Each structure stands twice: as structure tokens, then as C-alpha cells.
Amino acid sequence: MQWSEHLLEWRADGRPLQLGVTRFGSGPQLLLLPALSSISTRNEMRGLQQRLGAQFSTTAIDWPGFGDLPRPKIDWRPELYGDFLESILNSVTRPDITVAAGHAAGYALAQAADHPGSLGRLCLLAPTWRGPLPTMAGKRLPLFGTLAKAVDLPVAGAAFYRLNVNRPVIGMMARGHVYADPAWLDQVRLADKRHVTEARGARYASFRFVTGELDLFTTRDEYLAAARRVPGKIVLLYGDATPRKSKAEMAALEALDNVRTTVLPRGKLSFYEEFPDDTATALLSALA
């Protein structure tokens, strides 16, 4: 089996952009949707993709406004991401299984609820539905929208963004919320993550995610209502060391009758990147 890397052309608000796509494996079609965050790209799925490629034809794709390629200045918002996901299903892959991580889970749930069967079997990895600041505050505040637009400013906005994605901040957030083993984010991996944050135009979508401007749902009830409408069993995986507030939201999803849950004994929000062997084993077992 060989890895295949290529670029996808897409337009948002009439602006063209390119997105990275990685394919690997053979068998039934499996779509991998990475998280939406300042340091996320399809490459966070690579270890898991390699293991699943023994049984599936896997496709991992970057979200618009994220990834490691230059991105145009756009007022990124939820409807653009819903449109993008539909376009992927129409032009790139028609999956038998979809694996969505982090904030991608909300868009996958909405798609699966509104268009049953379009994503195949739905698997969610450490799903979230609120951005980091609304999660910390317990609600969305008007200030968050102001902060999101502040990063659009040519000079001050770029400087403000860099204050939030420098080496110490990324390291602190990764150790606190993303990775269970502080040593996992070594100098090489940290350099890769910083490269993602430094791509031209990176600040526009990533800071909108942080402030909750990319939240598809405004309340937990809306989020759970969408999940209830998804036919068949939803597979849910998350790590036992998931941060408390995020873990509470996953537990609420776990309580639904149509959700089958596996809690891995280790791992935080990016457990699938840190522990791909554990994740692949649990995922294949749940799908079986």
C-alpha cells in the first residue's frame, strides 16, 4: 500500500483555496475528519490512518481555514463548513464510515442527522461542540466575537494572534488539554505544530474557533437533539484523562440510547494522535 498526497481546490465566499488530502489503504471507504484547532491538520490522523488502512480505503482531508497551507482572509463561519462537508461527499468520497475528531464532530452529527446515511457509520473521537473560550466561561459572551474580529486587523491583529500561539502557550495548552504525556510533544513535534500556526492566513479561522464563532450549536440540548436524529449506532471514543468540562459534554452524549461508548484508559483530547494503536483497536472493535 502507498500513501497518496494531493491538493483539493475549493472556493469560500468566492475566494479560491487549496486543501491537503491524504489517501491510504484499500477496502471500504473511510473518511477521516481532523479536529478544528490552531494546531490541527489531517496529519494528526496519520498514525490512526496507517493502522486503519489495513482494512479500509482511508481519506483524510484538511478543513478550510485550517491545515498547513496558505488560507485567504475570510469571515469563516459554520455555514461554510457545512457546505464544504457536503461538497466532499459529492466530489471526493462517499464513505461507508466517517471518523470525526473534536469540533468536526458537530458538523458530522448535523450532516448525518439531516442527510441520513450520507456519512455511513459515524464514529466520534473526543467530540466537542463549543470552542475553548465558551467552554471555559460556560457560555458565549459578546466579547468573544469582538476578539475574533480583532485578529482580522492587518498589524495589531497579527500581533495579537502571535501572542496566543507562541511556543510557551502552545506547550502549556497541549500539556493541559491535548496530550496525556508531556514528553510526547517533543521539539520536533512542537516545531511541526508551530509551522501550522504560522501558515499565511492561519489566524482567521483558528481564532474564530477559539472564540466559539465556528460553533454550529448554541446549546447542549441542540447538540444532543442532532445526535438523537442520527440513525443507527454512533460510536464514541474518548480518553479517561479528558479535561473535566469537555468530559462532561462527552458523558452527556454517551447517555443517549443510540451511542455506543468506549473510554480509553489513557489520553486527552488528541488521544487518537498520541495513542493510535489503542484507538485503532478500540475503533475496530466497536465497528465490529
Q: Report the distance separating Cα 153 and Cα 160, nearest Å.
A: 9
Q: How many domains does the chain have?
A: 1
d(CA 249, CA 253): 6
| One pLDDT digit (tens) per residue for the chain, 288 residues | 799 999 999 999 999 999 999 999 999 999 999 999 989 999 999 999 999 999 999 999 999 999 999 999 999 999 999 999 999 999 999 999 999 999 999 999 999 999 999 999 999 999 999 998 888 888 777 878 787 787 888 878 778 788 777 788 888 887 888 999 988 989 999 899 989 999 999 999 998 999 999 999 999 999 999 999 999 999 999 999 999 999 999 999 999 999 999 999 999 999 999 999 999 999 999 998
Four-point Cα dihedral 104, 246, 124, 43, nearest 10: 60
Residue 111 belongs to what domain range? 4-287
Question: Which is it for the CA torsion 282, 192, 165, 76, positive or negative?
Answer: negative
For residue 30, the domain's CATH number is 3.40.50.1820
Whether the model clears a pTM of 0.85, i.e. scores above it, the answer is yes
- Cα(239)–Cα(116) distance, integer angstroms: 28
CB 217 within 8 A of CB 81: no
Q: Residues 243, 268: contact at Cβ < 8 Å?
A: yes
Q: What residue type is 14 in one-letter code?
A: G
235's grid cell: 460510536
Kindly list the distances between the CA atom of residue 38 and the CA atoms of 52, 210, 271, in Å, as whole numbers in the listed order. 26, 8, 17
